[in-house]
Amino acid sequence: MCGIVGAFSPSRATLAEDIYLGLYALQHRGQEAAGIAWTNEDGEIVCRKGPGLVHAALDQAEMSRVTCRSAVGHVRYATAGGSAACNIQPLTANTLARGSFAVAHNGNLPDAPAQRRVLERSGALFQSSSDTELILHLISHQPERPFPEALMQALGQVKGAYSLVFLHDDKLIAARDPWGFRPLALGRRGDITYVASESCAFDLLGAQMIRDLEPGEIVVIDESGCRSYMLPYASERKYHCAFEYVYFARPDSVIDGVSVYEARKNMGRALARSCMGTLCGSSALTSPLVTGLPDSGTIAALGFSEESGIPYESAIVRNRYSGRTFIEPTQRVRELGVLKKLNPMRQLIQGRDLIVIDDSIVRGTTSLKVARLLREHCGAKGVHMCVSSPPVAFPCFYGIDTPSRKELIAAQLHGDALRERLGVDSLFYLSREELVAAVGMEERHLCTACFDGKYMESPPACGCSRF
């Protein structure tokens, strides 16, 4: 999971600062590094990038002075390739046959290591360990083809999830994989066209969202306008990532026609309907209170409270200067992050049964620490954990850093064993069917592989026609 932004203007404008602001809106999608690339007056690509949050990695004052016609940006959450500085995006390439180009990528290409070995045996030199660089090499190995056609051919050779933005020849080019796994949308402000992972970036830029890119669509944006092409192969079904609606995306975004806010509230309502009979029937609850684990559990908690009639309070306060613990790079930092990130309010909790709504339980780090805090330090009479998604029991190969089932607590423990490990009195999950209904998307269009292990199929082999 990363965040990408692109911009094109028919006349020179302060697009680098626009990209900076767009990345700021997408900071929740990646906190390890950030970068911006743009095309200067000589047609050369200039790139600035560094580790950390957007404001630390990039100099906003410098970005505000840059005028250009095209630019792209990236916030990084490391999956393939790890956190090394050479993997910070955008990645750039300089070739004699094709000139300079740059790419920013959200997604993951599981077959990239095998393809990389083949290219290296034929003499290719890789500068990073990122799977994204594979696409650069596949394009560069077709010097006789126009760039969009070379891109088509390259994408026909990769498997996995990708939303991409490219700079080439003062053009902005965007592409989305045939399954539509990761989000990508078009927006516009005046004569400037934007591409971004989420619509919330357009809101900050004062732009209007035009539409989502279709799965398998390539859009070329230059001074002649916006041209759309479709990859000449299609998947049997769409695989929009369900976890975008559960956790990744900002609640004020609309992705593939679905309001993330409404989806999460629906999840909370469905969770209340499914567990309230058991929860209230098991024992009398003492002055029950609903609260959400901020921030991504908060909206589901509001839906749960509305449906159940149990009052909601913001009983757990989030330190706004702390990042998202799930996407921290190491277990030690994740554990410390829980303690510095969340502070329960004793005066609201003591002596009461607390119904805690979380969006998901992945490694179990946050849930275990929170249950202990609520019980031992805040005097909660009972801690009842209600999760607004199914158990995350399978690794994701398409952009989430869970490469092994050993890291997923729900893959190792079930039922009472899991409840006891987390230290909670009750543990409830949303079913897969309830999740699909809450999102409101056709079941065949939603990827739930991290819950049920049903991964997307590979695209058929294809021959790409010329533009």
Question: 171 with 51, same domain?
Answer: yes
CATH of the domain at 336: 3.40.50.2020
Q: How large is the greatest C-alpha to C-alpha distance in the chain, in angstroms? A: 75
Question: 221 with 302, same domain?
Answer: no
Give the single-character DSSP code of 181. -
Q: Is residue 126 one of the residues assigned to a domain?
A: yes
Q: Is residue 240 one of the residues assigned to a domain?
A: no
| CA 33/CA 55 separation, integer angstroms | 10
Ranges of H-type helices in 26-142: 54-57, 60-65, 112-121, 132-140
Question: 224 with 268, same domain?
Answer: no
Question: 31 with 115, same domain?
Answer: yes
For 50-97, give the DSSP string: EESSHHHHS-HHHHHH--EEEEEEEEE--BTBTT-GGG-SSEEEEETT
| CA 88/CA 132 separation, integer angstroms | 10
Question: 117 with 153, same domain?
Answer: yes
Among 234, 251, 280, the domain boundary falls at 234
Question: 403 with 342, same domain?
Answer: yes
| CA 353/CA 355 separation, integer angstroms | 7
| Cβ–Cβ < 8 Å for 354, 380 | yes
122: tokens are 């034929």
| CA 332/CA 129 separation, integer angstroms | 24
356 pairs with which residues across the strands? 291, 385
Q: Is residue 453 one of the residues assigned to a domain?
A: no
Q: Domain count of the chain?
A: 2
51 pairs with which residues across the strands? 33
- Phi/psi of residue 196, nearest 5 degrees: -150, 155
Question: 308 with 426, same domain?
Answer: yes
pLDDT at 413: 95
> CA gyration radius for the chain?
23
Q: Is residue 301 one of the residues assigned to a domain?
A: yes
| Cβ–Cβ < 8 Å for 3, 27 | yes
| CA 219/CA 22 separation, integer angstroms | 19
The DSSP element (H or E) to which 318 belongs, if any, is strand 316-318
Question: 292 with 393, same domain?
Answer: yes
Question: 334 with 434, same domain?
Answer: yes
Q: Provide the domain limits for residue 370.
A: 262-441
Q: Is residue 175 one of the residues assigned to a domain?
A: yes
Burial of 404 (0-12, 13-18, 19+ CB in 10 A): exposed
Spell 189-199 as b/e; 16+ CB within 10 A means b: eeebbbbbbbb
Spans of the chain below 70 pLDDT: 79-82, 96, 280-283, 322-339, 402-403, 457-467
CATH of the domain at 168: 3.60.20.10
pLDDT at 93: 87
| CA 163/CA 4 separation, integer angstroms | 8
| CA 271/CA 367 separation, integer angstroms | 17
Question: 175 with 294, same domain?
Answer: no
- Phi/psi of residue 203, nearest 5 degrees: -60, -45
pLDDT at 284: 78
| CA 162/CA 171 separation, integer angstroms | 19
Cβ-based neighbour number of residue 134 at 10 Å: 23
Q: Is residue 248 one of the residues assigned to a domain?
A: no
2 is catalytic: yes
| CA 409/CA 75 separation, integer angstroms | 28
The DSSP element (H or E) to which 264 belongs, if any, is helix 260-282
| CA 14/CA 421 separation, integer angstroms | 53
Question: 185 with 316, same domain?
Answer: no
Question: 82 with 217, same domain?
Answer: yes
| CA 449/CA 239 separation, integer angstroms | 9
Q: Is residue 53 one of the residues assigned to a domain?
A: yes
Q: Is residue 241 one of the residues assigned to a domain?
A: no
